[in-house]
Amino acid sequence: MYPPNRHAAPETGPPIPGLIGTSQAMEAVYQLTRKVARTNASVLLMGETGSGKEVIATAIHRLSNRASGPFVRVNCGALSESLLESELFGHVRGAFTGAVNNRTGRFEAAHTGTIFLDEINSTSLFLQVKLLRVLQEREFERVGDTATIRVDTRIVAASNRNLYDEVESERFREDLYWRLNVVPIVIPPLRMRREDVPALIAHFLKIYSERNEKHVVHIQPQAIEALQDYHWPGNVRELQNYVERAVTMADGDEFTIDLLPENVLGKKERRGGKIRGVDLDTLVYEVVQQGVNQLGTDEHHLHEKIVNRVEKELIVQVMQICNSVQTKAAGRLGINRNTLRSKLVEYNLEEKEEKADE
């Protein structure tokens, strides 16, 4: 592989339909999406649940020369191995109990178009062998048949886990990983692009106001602030749910802070896992991959910027866990309070009203 042209001007263009946000993290995703869409290369989308992987997959298809062909979605985590095999490759009558007719599989249905394999990390090693063959040879057999079917189908896969970790754990085939990972795109979690929250709110307000025949067109500043301060374990999908709820419950034309659930307002314990503790491996992986997304743009001093972004995000998470009490946060980070204060100033993370130590 040739090294990226670091001196090339970043590729820009009109907004991509369906993609909301102007944060630096998302601009890198947009540039990659536009660039890879015009090719036939396999794409691997990585990101947390609810971060918008299907939206990016749809955009890749719509911007490609396959846009007039079908776009077929398959949730690999929703079906058992036997059902998923039949769903992907089809079957012939009598192949198994209940197979009363021939059935066309999703790969065949996606001929001349794109197939989106969501949660591909959920597939069994047996199915991974068959997927590898489709990627390499563009051919397969229906379940219970010997006739080979050839297809011209582009593959976009998505995972909510680090697939390389799955390879290391021997849960995912390394050869399939490299065939899928021709162009990786990491979708940043919402907590790492909080500046996009107001635009996302406006987008969902319009959708759900029209859908419910209501006219909620304003949002209270305190509500925006609360939503931007929230950690978003469920990412954009969680925000979408809260906006729909607010539109449904609103009496007038304004989205007010009292329409938000208690956990967003900090009145209820956040659910565990990534919120109660800091998953450093995931944190570092996310930020480094976002830096990789920016290779080939006008990004300079990449190492320094990635290190600073990891440190900033770590401080944000620890401050949230410690309820913004600086002494506690400094102790958890293993630094003294003065160092933490200087970091808060450096990263523009100072509290509007500093909380007293408990």
Least confident of 173-177, 330-334, 340-344: 330-334
Q: What is the pLDDT of residues 24-74, one digit of tens each?
A: 889 889 999 999 999 999 999 998 889 999 999 999 999 999 999 999 999
Is-contact 156 43, C-beta < 8 A?
A: yes
Residue scoring higher pLDDT (99 or 215):
215
Q: How many helices (H) and strands (E) does the chain have?
A: 14, 11
* Highest mean pLDDT, choosing among 8-17, 320-329, 337-346: 337-346
Confidence check: pLDDT of 6 > 80: no
Instruction: Report, as an integer, the average pLDDT of 128-152.
Output: 91
> What pTM was computed for the model?
0.73
Measured CA to CA in angstroms, residue 165 lies from 46, 130, 184, 216, 281 at distances of 13, 21, 15, 44, 10
Measured CA to CA in angstroms, residue 117 lies from 179, 234, 291 at distances of 14, 20, 25
Assigned token pair, 166: 């799955």
DSSP for 213-277 reads: T----EE-HHHHHHHHHS--TTHHHHHHHHHHHHHHH-SSSEE-GGGS-TTTTTSSPPPSTTTTS
Is-contact 106 143, C-beta < 8 A?
A: no
List the domains of the chain with CATH numbers. 24-188 (3.40.50.300), 191-259 (1.10.8.60), 280-346 (1.10.10.60)
The one-letter amino acid at 32:
L
Confidence check: pLDDT of 236 > 70: yes
Residue scoring higher pLDDT (309 or 33):
33
Confidence check: pLDDT of 356 > 50: no
CA angle 20, 208, 269 (to 5 degrees): 80
